[in-house]
């Protein structure tokens, strides 16, 4: 099984990149292969219907599509901007949604967020659920939001709070159990 973990921020010092790396480590511990990336790996222009009609989606959108398609599951670590999903991440979702077959369809997806604020970016995740569920992604009901994220990580990249670390591990493990059961079911169906 392969899991694609995407940090929805381009910033080099991003707390969501830290969270994505931490989650990637949990996934590796649990067994599946991990592909870790962040939005800066996929620089793309703002969606433009004329550009799409002329040249099609940009190469970075195709590259992101390929990485999503190559995995059985997707984890997105997203910042919250103005109580919603950051425009750059929504833009990436919009471009990728233009491919056929539509890459988010039936994709098992876990959403996590990190923010220096007290709510940890949770409102952004609720906003991100809307387009993903619209596109047919199977967005895991439980989400994880890391509050006070600028002080939450140790120098080694671990989570300083043992209780939070345990909750995140349990969330990731439960999500991976579901993905594994789903993958097994699909294999049986194809026989």
Binding interface with ligand FNR (CB under 6 A): 9, 11, 14-16, 79-83, 115-117, 121
Using alpha carbons only, what angle is made at residue 112 by residues 72 and 162, rounded to the nearest 5 degrees?
110
Which is nearer to ligand FNR, 139 or 146 (by Cβ)? 146
Measured in whole angstroms, the distance separating CA 149 from the mean position of its chain's CA atoms is: 17
| Phi, psi (degrees; rounded to nearest 5) at 117 | -75, 175
Which is nearer to ligand FNR, 83 or 186 (by Cβ)? 83
**Could you tell me the smallest distance in angstroms from the CB atom of residue 149 to ligand FNR?**
7
Contact, 63 vs 69, CB < 8 A?
Answer: no
Which is nearer to ligand FNR, 18 or 171 (by Cβ)? 18
**Could you tell me the smallest distance in angstroms from the CB atom of residue 41 to ligand FNR?**
14
Nearest Cα neighbor of 41 from 18, 15, 25, 65 is: 65
**Could you tell me the smallest distance in angstroms from the CB atom of residue 153 to ligand FNR?**
11
Which is nearer to ligand FNR, 8 or 103 (by Cβ)? 8
d(CA 19, CA 152): 10
Which is nearer to ligand FNR, 96 or 149 (by Cβ)? 149
**Could you tell me the smallest distance in angstroms from the CB atom of residue 115 to ligand FNR?**
3
Contact, 116 vs 148, CB < 8 A?
Answer: yes
Q: How many CA atoms lie within 13 A of 19 on its CB side?
A: 34
């Amino acid at each position: 099984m392969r899991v694609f973990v995407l940090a929805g921020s381009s910033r080099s010092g991003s707390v969501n990149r830290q969270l994505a790396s931490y989650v990637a480590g949990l996934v590796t511990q649990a067994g599946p292969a991990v592909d870790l990336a962040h939005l800066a790996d996929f620089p793309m222009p703002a969606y433009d219907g004329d550009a799409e009609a002329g040249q099609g989606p940009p190469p970075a959108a195709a590259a992101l599509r390929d990485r999503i398609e190559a995995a059985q599951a997707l984890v997105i670590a997203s910042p919250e901007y103005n109580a919603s999903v950051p425009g750059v991440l929504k833009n990436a979702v919009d471009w990728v949604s233009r491919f056929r077959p539509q890459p988010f369809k039936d994709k098992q997806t876990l959403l996590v967020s990190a923010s220096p604020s007290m709510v940890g970016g949770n409102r952004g995740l609720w906003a991100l659920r809307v387009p993903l569920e619209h596109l047919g992604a199977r967005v895991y009901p439980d989400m994880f939001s890391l509050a006070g994220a600028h002080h939450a990580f140790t120098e080694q990249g671990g989570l300083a709070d043992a209780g939070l670390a345990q909750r995140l591990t349990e969330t990731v493990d439960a999500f991976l159990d579901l993905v594994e059961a789903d993958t097994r079911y699909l294999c049986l169906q194809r026989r």
